[in-house]
Each structure stands twice: as C-alpha cells, then as structure tokens.
Amino acid sequence: MGWTNAIEDILQRYGGQGGAPGGANPAAAPANPHQDFQQVAQAAPPDLLSSGISQAFHSGQTPPFPEMLSNLFSHSDPNQRAGVLNRLLGTLSAGGFSGLPGLGSLSSLFSGGKVTPDQANQVSPAQVQQIAEHAQRQNPSIVDEISGFYAQHPEIMKAAGALALTIAVQHILKNR
C-alpha cells in the first residue's frame, strides 16, 4: 500500500475504496477537494497523479481541455507558462499556427524554437486556449502530456476548480 497510508483519511472520505460504490457523483464529494488533492498529489506516484489530472481534463463534467488549460496558464509562473507553450508547440505541424486567426503574430515571437519565460509572458490565456484547441485537434495525446506537466506542478491545479480536483482524486484513489 505504501503511499496510501499517508492519505488514509482521504480514502475514507471518498468512499473507503477510492470512490463511492457505483461511481461517486463528484458533486457529493467532501467539502475541501483543494486540500485533498494537494495531499494526494504529495503522496501518489507521478504517473497516477498525471492520470488523475488527465481524467479531469477529459471529463464531460468539466470545461473543455483548452478552456481549462487557459485558466491554468493564467495562474502559472513564467517558467511554467514557457513549459506549457513548449509542449503545445511541440505538437504543431510545420507552419505551426501562423494560419490561425489572431495567432499569426506569435510565429515571429517563437521563431527561435524554445519559448522563454519572457516570451511566454507575452501570450494571453485566450491565445493559449486557441493554441490548445489546434494542438488537441492535431494530436489528442497532448492532453496526457500536459497532464504530466501539471503532475510536476500540482500546486497550480487548484485553479482547475473543485469539481476537476474531485474527479482527479477519485480517479487516483480508484486506480491506486
């Protein structure tokens, strides 16, 4: 069991066996999913944490991935913003997003290859949402890659909201 001993109280609150019988309704989850998520994030293996975050991004109960990513981006520091953008840009085909409405001007900003923190600060959350929409269409596995990134920076996930965190925690506990 190992890491689950550190979160035994959370296991009990989320149904004792990683979620209520029959698939818990996230709306009925405990009152402090932000704190629960942080405790689980500190204890759970990184791949399981990434899987839980991915589940939240894919859930039909949360906003679409590009919208959630835009919000997380707005709560990230410059280095984290650069990390997200580098992952997104890595999925784009040749020509990147120069043909996307409102994003052509970014092509020259990112012409050097890797996005720096200073460059990342020049990109708005709305632009990140557009880039994420395009990247997800070209490569749906970008959701899992971004999930892995945020598993390394779980403190930012509080911006995803209580429902997303509840879904992530339930998934982690169910698959432990």
What is the tens place of the pLDDT at every residue in 70-120?
999 999 999 999 999 999 988 875 555 566 666 766 766 666 678 899 999
Does the pLDDT of residue 21 top 50, yes or no? no
Q: What is the pLDDT of residue 15?
A: 66
Q: What is the pLDDT of residue 83?
A: 96
Residue 10's pLDDT band, with cuts at 50, 70 and 90, is: confident
Tokens 């109280």 belong to 9
Q: Give pairs for 57-61: CB < 8 Å, separation 24+.
A: 57/143, 57/146, 57/147, 57/164, 58/143, 59/164, 59/167, 61/26, 61/163, 61/167
Q: What is the pLDDT of residues 136-153, one digit of tens each?
A: 998 999 999 999 999 999
Domain borders along the chain are 73-139
Q: What is the pLDDT of residue 20?
A: 42
Please tell me the distance from the alpha carbon of residue 6 to that of residue 9, in angstroms, as a whole number: 8
Does the pLDDT of residue 121 top 50, yes or no? yes
Q: Which residue has the higher pLDDT, 139 or 5?
A: 139
Q: Which residue has the higher pLDDT, 173 or 107?
A: 173
pTM attached to this predicted model: 0.85
Share of the chain above pLDDT 90, in %: 59
